[in-house]
Amino acid sequence: MRRVVVCLSLALVSACGLWGETASAPQTARQALLEMFFSKTPGTLVKHLPAVTLAALEKSGALTSLQMYSSMATQLQTQGRTVQTFETGSVLLSGQDSKTGDKFEITVEDDALRADQDDIELSFQVYKNGQVERTPFMPQMTFSMKQEEKVWKLNEISVTIHLPLADPDFLKAITEKMTPHAGPTAYAARPEMAAQPAGSDAQVIAAMRSILTAEVTYAATYPNVGYTCTLSNLDGFGGGEPNEHQAMLINSGLASGKRYAYVFSLAGCGGTPSSSFQLSAAPSGNSFGRKAFCADQTAVIRSSADGSAATCLASEAAAQ
- For residue 290, the one-letter residue type is R
Q: Domain residue spans in the chain?
A: 29-164, 201-314
> pLDDT confidence of 183, banded at 50, 70, 90?
very low
Could you tell me how far CA 301 lies from the centroid of its own chain? 21
Q: How many other C-beta atoms lie within 10 A of the C-beta of residue 69?
A: 13
Whether the CB-CB separation of 292 and 304 falls below 8 Å is answered with yes
**DSSP secondary structure letter of residue 250:** S
Percent of the chain with pLDDT over 90: 29
> pLDDT confidence of 174, banded at 50, 70, 90?
low
Return d(Cα 246, Cα 226) in angstroms, integer.
Answer: 15
CA-wise closest residue to 122 among 142, 104, 94: 142
Whether the CB-CB separation of 153 and 50 falls below 8 Å is answered with yes
pLDDT of 319 reads 62
Return d(Cα 137, Cα 267) in angstroms, integer.
Answer: 34
DSSP code string of 95-141: EEETTT--EEEEEEEEEEEETTEEEEEEEEEEEETTEE---S-EEEE
Return d(Cα 301, Cα 320) in angstroms, integer.
Answer: 9
Beta-bridge mates of residue 100 = none
Whether the CB-CB separation of 269 and 277 falls below 8 Å is answered with yes
Return d(Cα 214, Cα 207) in angstroms, integer.
Answer: 11
Q: Which of 50-64, 127-141, 142-156, 232-246 has the highest mean pLDDT?
A: 142-156
Segment among 4-18, 191-205, 257-271, 297-311 with least mean pLDDT: 4-18
CA-wise closest residue to 281 among 193, 198, 195, 225: 198
Return d(Cα 231, Cα 234) in angstroms, integer.
Answer: 6
* Angle subtended at Cα 148 by Cα 144 and Cα 150, rounded to the nearest 5 degrees: 110
Region 256-281: what's the mean pLDDT?
91
- For residue 68, the one-letter residue type is M
pLDDT of 7 reads 46
Q: Which residues contact 285 (CB under 8 A, 6 or more apart)?
A: 195, 196, 198, 261
> pLDDT confidence of 124, banded at 50, 70, 90?
confident
In the predicted structure, residue 65 carries a pLDDT above the cut 90: no
> pLDDT confidence of 44, banded at 50, 70, 90?
confident
Whether the CB-CB separation of 66 and 210 falls below 8 Å is answered with no
Given this structure, which CATH class describes domain 29-164?
alpha beta
User: What's the pTM?
Assistant: 0.47
In the predicted structure, residue 200 carries a pLDDT above the cut 60: yes
Whether the CB-CB separation of 218 and 212 falls below 8 Å is answered with no
Compute CA distances 191 → 106, 107, 242, 264, whole Å.
Answer: 31, 33, 29, 19
Residue 242 buriedness (CB in 10 A; 0-12 / 13-18 / 19+): middle
Return d(Cα 29, Cα 112) in angstroms, integer.
Answer: 10
Region 151-160: what's the mean pLDDT?
90
> pLDDT confidence of 190, banded at 50, 70, 90?
very low
Angle 201-221/51-60 helices, nearest 10 degrees? Answer: 110
Q: How many other C-beta atoms lie within 10 A of the C-beta of residue 273?
A: 12
